[in-house]
Amino acid sequence: MGAAPTYCALFSLLVATNLALSFHRATDDSCSEFHVDQTQCQPYLSLNGETTKPPLLVVSLDGFRSDYLGRLAETSKTNGLLRLARCGVKAASMIPVFPTVTLPNHYSIVTGLYPESHGIVAHEFYDPELGRNFSLPAAGFSFSDSNLLDPVWWIGEPIWYTIKRQGKKSAAFFWPGSYIDDSVRRPDYWLPYDGKVPFQQRISQVIDWLQLPQPKRPSFIGLYLEEPDGSGHNNGPLSPLVDEQIQNVDHQIELLLNSMSANGLLGCVDIIILSDHGMASVPLDENVVKLEDMVKDIRSSAYCFDCAEGLTPTLLPVDDSQRERDRIASNVECRNEDVRIYDKWDFPRRHHYADSRRISSLLFDLSIQWRVIVGTEDYLPGGHGWDNIYPDMAALFVAQGPSFRHDGATVDSFYNIELYNLMCLLADVEPAPNNGTWGALHHLLAKTPPELPDGKDFVAAYILDYPLNSQGQRVHYIDDQKRRRVCDLLSGNNDPRRNLGFNLTDSYAKQLVVLHVPWGLPGTNKSGVKVLVSSDFVIGFNVQDGIPSWVSYTVSKSIIESNDSLIPSWRADPRLRVSDVSICDRLKENPQSSSLLLAPLFFPRLSSSLRQSTDAWVETNAIEISPSFEKYWEDIEAMIVQLSANLPGRLNIFVGPVRDSPSPAIFLVVSYCPDPVELLACFENQLNVQSFILPTHLHYSRDCLSTERFLRSHLTTIRDVERASGFNLFQSLLNEAKVQLLRRTILASSLLVDPRPSPIQTFGSMTKSFRKNHAIRLGNPICFSYWIFGLFSVIFTAVLNNLNAAV
């Protein structure tokens, strides 16, 4: 009993201490050293009487996982990064590019390009055109191997060259790609790589560069430190030896800041401290797949790159033919849900990891801590290279300086390809073309740059186009007889009464467009896209390609409960002219069409009434899929039905085909506003959007993934959908709100599926799901039977009409 007051006193003491501490922190004036009056920097920054932008120093700490910052806070022996973050700005994390390894990421940071565009696609790869291998020597930690220094490997424009090209100076200390054998594309100041040069020596060189008089002083300095990556590999990320290295590099940062302070540079230089990727522990003898056990002749039939440790393995068959790829992959696919083999064109689109001859034809998407090796392995307790979605792969970003905001804020995670544009802005140069989104990181700055270029660089150019009669009324344009000759595939009931739903007044059609395409028609340069309106959905149909470009709908609350009448019965769309290319032509041109199915883009079950559901079975709402995709599409339908039934707000779906790569796909953008009013009026920060690019013709692992896994694998950003579809979405949003939406990572929403994998994965989803006979087979025999069915229905209708006439 007597203990209670003591505890109480102790507790209050604790609270008081805590309060005092946090009070102390809040008023900690150690930031004053950073937040200097900018007039003090003028002498340092002035050139020919004008004040130039502060120099930009970027320090990379290899393998510094984003949560290591928290470990620094626990020990608080050194005060480099934490002090910078407190007096500047940091990100929850920075998301690396795939594969999450050193060279591709360092080069993406300085070019703003995905590896497929900058050429350093992995640590080991083969370029068939050059007939040469790029390979990081396995022994030791050497970035100086002469084979890496050949400029032929390094494509794209790193920031130091952008700066040099525009008449300013740049410098780099060991930044990968800065010491290649190319005096033009190298920075003005650089050094040949030598891992033995002590960190302190590198830092004093940086200080010397910063003190160079103008105009010799570099606008950009990149500095590379190898730790804590090395200790992470050798001991695993949780090791105390890693803590030691974290403190060591933090101490180096501290020394750098002290030295800058001593030289009056602090507060006059923009500083970014970042890393390339994180680190995960690698379980010994667990989660290892040996290719030799699956493909007996793998050693002689394929080159396996990056297979020694097996974290980012890729396979290049010696005979790189489709048949050989299929043979190898068929022995590996569907064996293990954590080891997913892909044809490179089917690889999750958000990685943008396909469009380079240097990327091997067979890729693996591995669950974290899984490895694929040939037979024997080089085991290390720590590793990285996995999907950038895993928190363990996340990198560091901390920034401080006169250009950055200095409230100690933590901004949302962002992709490292966004940095190049920002660094160009800070260095006052024009960025080269890159994969970042202009403005994506402007919220890190103290002052938003005034000239945000207009994001709406291409405009909507649609007219609502319906067949009209001479009185300006909509009529069924189609000559059914003529049309059926063109298209004997579409044999659904062409009873004109089924098409009454398309006969809408102009003003009602406009209202429906506002409802179903709430942010305005998507912008594009493409001509030939006509807007077709029906009560429950709106189609953007490309009459030149004979293919729907997109379908958009706001889900109606009354979803058809009974589905008995939803038997597919595709028919020609009466709103198309006979001269317009129809689905039949596009299918006839496709030699594979006999194995394909037709699936609706707008799901008939989402119709507001049973009668209205007939509007959904028109060719303009149809897309070809492979039979193995059907299961996923049906599950997605069920998920959307469930979502709209359970959520109080408004749900909008924007969906359409992706045809910009050898792997056909469907893009799917699900938007939700918790406020049940208008989607258009949804506050941007309330708007919840999740998007996907789903391959419809997967080569391997076709239908052995759970739908959840499939969806999670093929998550994308809205930006990815814009690139792949060629459409500019959310047109009516203000520029800033649009940019805010575009910079969102796939971690920002879990509307349809949680982007983060759950820890326990079961591999039992191969059971056949119940198939609603949603889609019709396009193979000839079946098509014939549908034709017969169609014929019967025509006869039946005719008989019925005669009966009617008789009565």
Ligand X SMILES: *[C@@H]1O[C@H](CO)[C@@H](O)[C@H](O)[C@H]1NC(C)=O
The whole-angstrom separation of Cα 326 and Cα 346 is 13
Residue keyed to tokens 């003003």: 507
Point out the residue whose Cβ comes nearest to Zn ion. 229
Q: Which does 772 bind (CB under 5 to 8 A by kind): ligand X, Zn ion, none?
A: ligand X
Query: Any contact of residue 308 with ligand X (CB under 6 A)?
Result: no
Please give the distance of CA 727 from its chain centroid, rounded to a whole number: 16
Query: Any contact of residue 134 with ligand X (CB under 6 A)?
Result: no
Which residue's CB is nearer to Zn ion, number 229 or number 333? Answer: 229
Minimum Å gap between C-beta 615 and ligand X is 14
443, 456, 723, 777: residue in contact with ligand X (rule CB under 6 A): 723
Nearest to 408 by CA among 79, 33, 91: 91
Which residue's CB is nearer to Zn ion, number 229 or number 624? Answer: 229
DSSP-derived secondary structure for 428-490:
T-PPPS-SS-TTTTGGGBSS--S----S--S-----B---B-TTS-B-----HHHHHHH-SS-
Query: Any contact of residue 659 with ligand X (CB under 6 A)?
Result: no
Between the CA of residue 553 and those of 503, 515, 519, 720, what are the distances in Å?
18, 8, 11, 21
Residue keyed to tokens 């109080």: 648
Site for ligand X in 534-573 (CB under 6 A): 561, 563
The whole-angstrom separation of Cα 724 and Cα 649 is 29
Mapping DSSP onto H, E and C, the string for 196-210 reads CCCHHHHHHHHHHHH
Which residue's CB is nearer to ligand X, number 151 or number 726? Answer: 726
Q: Residue 759, preceding bond cis, omega within 30 degrees?
A: no
226, 229, 250, 573: residue in contact with Zn ion (rule CB under 5 A): 229
Size of the site for ligand X (CB under 6 A): 25
Q: Which does 405 bind (CB under 5 to 8 A by kind): ligand X, Zn ion, none?
A: none
Segment interacting with ligand X (CB under 6 A) among 474-482, 640-648, 687-695, 799-807: 474-482
Query: Any contact of residue 124 with Zn ion (CB under 5 A)?
Result: no
12, 22, 30, 133: residue in contact with ligand X (rule CB under 6 A): 133
Which residue's CB is nearer to ligand X, number 232 or number 522? Answer: 522
Query: Any contact of residue 227 with Zn ion (CB under 5 A)?
Result: no
Contact criterion met (CB below 8 Å) for 87 and 400? yes
List residues with catalytic annotation. Answer: 102
Residue 777 DSSP label? B
Query: Any contact of residue 703 with Zn ion (CB under 5 A)?
Result: no
Query: Any contact of residue 113 with ligand X (CB under 6 A)?
Result: yes
The whole-angstrom separation of Cα 334 and Cα 329 is 10
Cα Rg of the chain, angstroms: 30
Nearest to 95 by CA among 440, 359, 400: 440
**CA quadruple 484, 485, 491, 495: dihedral, nearest 10:** 20
Segment interacting with ligand X (CB under 6 A) among 13-21, 47-55, 129-137, 621-629: 129-137
126, 154, 397, 672: residue in contact with ligand X (rule CB under 6 A): 126
Query: Any contact of residue 712 with ligand X (CB under 6 A)?
Result: no
Segment interacting with ligand X (CB under 6 A) among 6-14, 65-73, 111-119, 788-796: 111-119
Which string of x and - marks every residue 322-361 that binds ligand X (by CB under 6 A)? ------------------------------x---------
Element (H, E) at 346: none
Query: Any contact of residue 722 with Zn ion (CB under 5 A)?
Result: no
Which residue's CB is nearer to ligand X, number 209 or number 364? Answer: 364
**Non-local CB neighbours of 453 within 8 Å, separated by 6+ positions:** 438, 439
Please give the distance of CA 540 from its chain centroid, rounded to a whole number: 25
Q: Which residues of 245-273 are buried (b: 16+ CB within 10 A; e: fewer)?
A: bbbebbbbbbbbbebbeeeebbbbbbbbb
Query: Any contact of residue 306 with Zn ion (CB under 5 A)?
Result: no
Minimum Å gap between C-beta 133 and ligand X is 4
The whole-angstrom separation of Cα 173 and Cα 189 is 8
Size of the site for Zn ion (CB under 5 A): 1
Query: Any contact of residue 254 with Zn ion (CB under 5 A)?
Result: no
Which amino acid makes up residue 516?
Answer: H
Which string of x and - marks every residue 765-784 that binds ligand X (by CB under 6 A)? -------x------------
Residue keyed to tokens 């997109």: 550
303, 364, 420, 537: residue in contact with ligand X (rule CB under 6 A): 303
379, 390, 458, 477: residue in contact with ligand X (rule CB under 6 A): 458
The whole-angstrom separation of Cα 619 and Cα 584 is 9
Q: Which does 213 bind (CB under 5 to 8 A by kind): ligand X, Zn ion, none?
A: none
Segment interacting with ligand X (CB under 6 A) among 230-238, 473-481, 740-748, 793-801: 473-481
**Non-local CB neighbours of 234 within 8 Å, separated by 6+ positions:** 241, 380, 381, 382
Task: Return the structure tokens found at 263.
Answer: 């030289």
Segment interacting with Zn ion (CB under 5 A) among 199-207, 223-231, 363-371, 465-473: 223-231
Query: Any contact of residue 525 with ligand X (CB under 6 A)?
Result: yes
Where does this chain bind Zn ion (CB under 5 A)? 229
Where does this chain bind ligand X (CB under 6 A)? 113-114, 117, 126, 131-133, 303, 352, 433-435, 458, 473-476, 500, 503, 525, 561, 563, 723, 726, 772
